[in-house]
């Protein structure tokens, strides 16, 4: 029961828009059977308000989706070649959870060229 309580509290805090039924389903997906009323009681005892009344913040959203997000950017490098000074455009993507950077590609043509 402690594990179920911990899951309900965690899901409620990390996902402020989830109601009792959604949390019940998520706990069920992990192999635990729990009733909607039990989810409600666990939240009340833990001082967690129902979904519409729970505060939703940007930091809560980021924490909940941190492992699923990525950042993308580009940079230019000027290189001397046999043709003279050439500008190379590089696109890279960073996995925000691991901070790994992946080079997507490099080209002599920029966007719109």
40-54 tens-digit pLDDT: 899 888 888 787 666
Rounded distance, CA 30 to CA 2, Å? 14
Q: Which residue has the higher pLDDT, 12 or 72?
A: 72
Provide the pLDDT for residue 62. 76
- Rounded alpha-carbon distances, angstroms, from residue 83 to 51, 60, 80: 63, 52, 8
- Summary mean pLDDT of the chain: 86
Provide the pLDDT for residue 91. 94
Q: What is the pTM of this model?
A: 0.48
CB atoms under 10 Å from CB of 78, counted, come to: 8
Rounded distance, CA 62 to CA 71, Å? 13
pLDDT band at residue 55 under the 50/70/90 scheme: low
The yes-or-no verdict on residue 110 having pLDDT over 80 is no
Rounded distance, CA 79 to CA 83, Å? 10
Q: What is the pLDDT of residues 68-90, one digit of tens each?
A: 888 999 999 999 989 899 999 99
């Amino acid at each position: 029961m402690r594990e179920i309580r911990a899951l309900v509290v965690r899901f409620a805090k990390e996902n402020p828009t989830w109601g009792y039924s959604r949390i019940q389903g998520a706990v069920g997906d992990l192999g635990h059977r729990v009733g909607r009323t039990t989810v409600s009681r666990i939240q009340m005892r833990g001082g967690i308000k129902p979904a519409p009344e729970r505060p939703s913040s940007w930091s809560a959203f980021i924490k909940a989706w941190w492992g699923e997000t990525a950042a993308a950017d580009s940079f230019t490098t000027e290189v001397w070649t046999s043709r003279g000074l050439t500008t190379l455009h590089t696109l890279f993507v960073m996995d925000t959870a691991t901070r790994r950077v992946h080079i997507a590609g490099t080209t002599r043509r920029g966007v719109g060229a």
